[in-house]
């Protein structure tokens, strides 16, 4: 478990933050989104690596935590949602494509991230009491939703905040060892 914890530490506290900080140097993160980096700026590899890094943390850490808490989740649904996130980054945006095709990557990403959040909301619903990091995860979901509503569209600020903060909170849930119940 120590080696696994070390690998997750490197992923969540080093690699994922680096991938989430890069947009600050490339774009206006409060206007543009990650797709802009991959398509308009011709960095599709960065976009795919960012999506893989984010989704890997969401997938593995959620499963580890749910198993730790003996929560019954739908494995195939969770797998589909977390695979759909990076797959959405493989669908290119090109002006000559039909409008629905250009929007396909957006709807796939929204559906998968939204489904991931619904999975966690279902978990929270099933729990009578939430521990401290579970409460923090709820606040992260609320904060990132707020980052969507302020500009009125998906921005890199919302995307990178969600990736970074959810993965860090999930890491803490899995590896903190602090699982005393705190009333909701």
CA–CA dist 166, 145 (Å, integer) = 12
CA distances (Å), origin 50, targets 14, 81, 90, 104, 183: 13, 16, 12, 19, 35
| Residue 178 pLDDT grade (very low, low, confident, very high; cuts 50, 70, 90) | low
| Residue 158 pLDDT grade (very low, low, confident, very high; cuts 50, 70, 90) | very high
Residue 111 CB partners (closer than 8 Å, separation 6+): 84
28-37, 70-79, 123-132: least confident range: 123-132
Q: Are 137 and 169 in contact (CB under 8 A)?
A: yes
| Residue 129 pLDDT grade (very low, low, confident, very high; cuts 50, 70, 90) | confident
Domain ranges of the chain: 2-175
* Each residue's pLDDT tens digit, 114-127: 999 999 999 998 88
- For residue 97, the number of C-alpha atoms closer than 13 Å in the C-beta half-sphere is 11
């Amino acid at each position: 478990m120590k080696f696994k914890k070390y690998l997750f530490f490197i992923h969540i506290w080093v690699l994922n933050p680096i991938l989430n900080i890069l947009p600050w140097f490339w774009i206006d993160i409060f206007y543009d989104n990650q797709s802009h980096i991959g398509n308009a700026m011709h960095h599709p590899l960065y976009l795919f690596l960012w999506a893989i890094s984010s989704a890997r943390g969401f997938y593995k850490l959620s499963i580890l935590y749910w198993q730790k808490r003996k929560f019954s989740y739908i494995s195939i649904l969770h797998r589909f949602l977390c695979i759909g996130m990076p797959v959405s980054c493989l669908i290119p945006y090109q002006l000559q494509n039909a409008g629905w095709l250009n929007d396909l990557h957006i709807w796939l990403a929204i559906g998968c991230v939204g489904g991931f959040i619904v999975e966690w909301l279902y978990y929270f619903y099933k729990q009578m009491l939430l521990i401290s990091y579970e409460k923090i995860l709820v606040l992260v979901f609320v904060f990132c939703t707020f980052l969507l509503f302020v500009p009125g569209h998906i921005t890199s600020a919302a995307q990178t905040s969600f990736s970074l903060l959810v993965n860090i909170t999930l890491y803490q849930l899995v590896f903190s060892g602090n699982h005393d119940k705190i009333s909701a």
